[in-house]
Amino acid sequence: MICLIYSDYNQTEMKRKTKPASNDHLKLSQIIKDVHKNLREDAKRLGTQKAWINHCKQEESLLRYAQAMKELATRHWEKNYNNNCKAKSRIKWIYEYCRLYFFDGELLRQRRREIEIARKIVANESCERYLLGSFIDSSEENLFDVKSELEEKMYSESNAKCLKLLDVGSCYNPFNEFPCLDVLAVDIAPASSDVKWCDFLEVNIINKKPDLSQHPIKELQDCSFHIVVFSLLLEYLPSPEQRLNCCLNAYKVLQHEGILLIITPDSKHVGSNAKIMLTWRFILSEIGFSRIKYEKLPYLHCMAFRKSININIAKRWAQLQDNEKFYKNMYIPQDLNNKEMKKL
């Protein structure tokens, strides 16, 4: 089940502080909102699984959605970002963080941080040493001998296609413009010919290299990507279970020390949905992701999660938290009304 992308940009679209939205802008936004609303209503009426299957078969509606999303992103959002110095393009944010992580030393800094956490786990005997697997060597002097699928060399931005990026819910393949990225763009409603049809929630993850020239894509290789991008994706999915399954699949296809980059819309101030964002961090920590970057932009939450060398390293943060501070599932604001919010 997987793939599209974008979400309720209701308030994002209507509250621009530049000039009022054009009629074309409003019309395109309404197409997006209607699709999101209909999918959520169908999920309540039919159940998530059946609603999603039916949704993926609505080719005409999905094509209209994809075209509207592409126009919004390329003709309106990017233009507004360029005209507003306080705003930043989601594409620019993702690319800049990839550069920082792989080319400017952040990967090695995070690796050293995890090694220190491993030391604490062993010292506190909160985890048997063998559970750390090959993360650390038995001798102290070899503690930094990290076993990872990633090579020890630093990546160079000058090397073409040196980073494999999976863009889930890509729409129009916006990352294809960056020479250092080897992009596989997938969606259930491709808006351009270089985006492959794929339902990421239902994709088979295998331990050998699949034929990615096929259409649709039904298989992906495990531990094969440096980067997975969920840009305006998770809020598109109608249930918390689907969002978690999406993240689990991202974990499977990422190399150790690879990163999952999540962009989700929110026009409110940083504290309004803080519990939701902390819950995402908590739940993803339990499956092996460490959140290493968070930034609230005017209309977006931007997050980077690292697939830890060992799952127990990532889990440690969750184990130190009070479970009562978090929701039980990966909710989005649309899932919760005020009455429900008080219960959860």
* DSSP characters over 11-37: HHHH--SSSPPPHHHHHHHHHHHHHHH
> Under 8 Å CB-to-CB from 310, ≥6 apart: which residues?
114, 118, 131, 132, 133, 135
Q: How far apart are CA 234 and CA 6, in angstroms?
A: 8
- What SS3 class is residue 327? coil
Q: Please give the angle made by the CA atoms of 241, 39 and 87, to the nearest 5 degrees.
A: 85
Distance of CA 337 to the CA centre of its chain: 25
47 labeled binding residue:
no
**153 DSSP assignment:** S
> Are the beta carbons of 167 and 196 closer than 8 angstroms?
no
Is 258 part of any known ligand binding site? no
* φ, ψ dihedrals at 51, nearest 5°: -60, -40
Name the residue among 205, 221, 304 with its Cα closest to residue 260: 304
* Binding-site residue ranges: 169, 187
* Binding-site residue ranges for S-adenosyl-L-methionine: 169, 187
